[in-house]
Amino acid sequence: MGRRKATVGNDAIEGARPYRVASFFAGIGGFDLGFEMAGVETVWQCEKKSFCLDILAKHWPDVPRTDDITKVVADDIPEAEIWAGGFPCQDVSLARMGPRSGLRGKQSGLFYDFAQLIGARRPEIVILENVAALLSSHDGRDFAIIIRTLADFGYGVAWRVLDSRYFGIPQSRSRVFIVGSLGNPETAGSILFEPECGDRDDEARRPDGTKPVSPFAVRVGNPEQGYVKKLAHCLYAESARHTGTDWSRNYVSYPEGAVRRLTPLETERLQGFPDNWTMPTHEMPNQDTLESARYHACGNAVSVPVAEWLGHRIVAALRAQRAESQTSDLKVTPRSA
C-alpha cells in the first residue's frame, strides 16, 4: 500500500481543487498522509531531523520543505487553508526525568515560533498535536497559554484527547488535539466532536474567551471523554515511563510467557503507515542505527488513521462554511417601497 494522492471527493463542487495543508514539525508525514487520504493536498513541510527529511522527500518529492522553523519567513509559506503541527513534546512529557520545562524548554518552546507564523498569516484552520501530559504541564498554565495565544489571533478553539486504539490500530496512544478556526468559534468544536458525543461541554472557546471549557477536566477510563492508562493488551513496555515514542523498548508478549521486540515494520503498522514507509533512500551506518531511527520516527509520528479522521472532519467543516457563505451571497435584500 502506498500514498494515495489527494483528490476532491465526489460530493465536492465540480472543478474545485483540494484543500491544502502546510505541515509543521512534519516528522515522517503522519498528518500529511492521513490528510491526503481525506482529500487534502500537502503543499509545504517543515522538519528538522535529517532522517525524517529523507522519508518526506521519498514520499513527497515535489513538495517544498525546510528544516528550521526558527528561520521560516511567513510570506514564504505557500497558500494553505490548513496548518498542522505536532510540536515537540520532550519538555512537557511525563516521561521526562525531573521537572518539566514546559513551553520554556528549548524543544517544546518551538511552539512560540509556530505561533508567530500563525499570527502573521492567519490560516483558516490550525491543528496542533501533543502528548496528553501537555494538559497538566505547569499545572495547566502551558496549555492555557496555547489556547489564549490562538484566541488572541482570532481563533475559536476546541480540544480533545483522542486514543489511537479507537481508530482501528492495536495500540493505546492518547494525544491531545487542539483545533483553531479563524473567526468561527463553532467550527472548531464541530471538527473534534460529533453531535452524539453527549455529556460534555464541547463548545469551542470564542476568540474573546467566552464560553470557557476547563482544559483540565480530562476523564480517565472513558474512551469518549479521556484517555485509558494502559497499552494494548498484546504489548509490554519495558519502562513505566513509556509514552509511545520509543518503540525499541516495547515487546510483544505471548500467552506462554515468551516475548520479543517489535520489528520496525510492526511499528509502522501500529501507526497506520504502509509497510516500509520508513525505509530511507540513503545508506545507514549499520542495521542497529537504521532500526533505531525507524523506531523513533514511528514513535514520534501522528497516527495516520487519527489524522485521516481529522482530515475528513476539517474538509466537511470547510465545505459547510463555503456553502453557508455562498447561500448568504445569493440572498437578495428586498427593495424598500
Distance CA 266, CA 96 (A): 26
DSSP letter at 276 equals T
Q: Residues 40, 311: contact at Cβ < 8 Å?
A: yes
* Cα→Cα distances 307→30, 56, 79, 175, 183, Å: 7, 16, 21, 11, 23
Q: Is 329 exposed, middle or buried (0-12, 13-18, 19+ CB in 10 A)?
A: exposed
Cell of 92: 512537557
Angle between helices 304-330 and 30-37 (to 10 degrees): 50
In 15-148, beta strands by DSSP E = 20-24, 41-46, 65-66, 82-85, 125-131
Q: Residues for the chain: how many in total?
A: 337
Distance CA 133, CA 42 (A): 29
Residue with cell 526525568: 97
Give the residues across from 220 on adjacent strands: 227
Element (H, E) at 167: none
Q: Residues 138, 93: contact at Cβ < 8 Å?
A: no
Nearest to 130 by CA among 96, 160, 86: 86
Residues known to be catalytic: 89
Beta strand pairing call for 235-237 and 20-24: unpaired
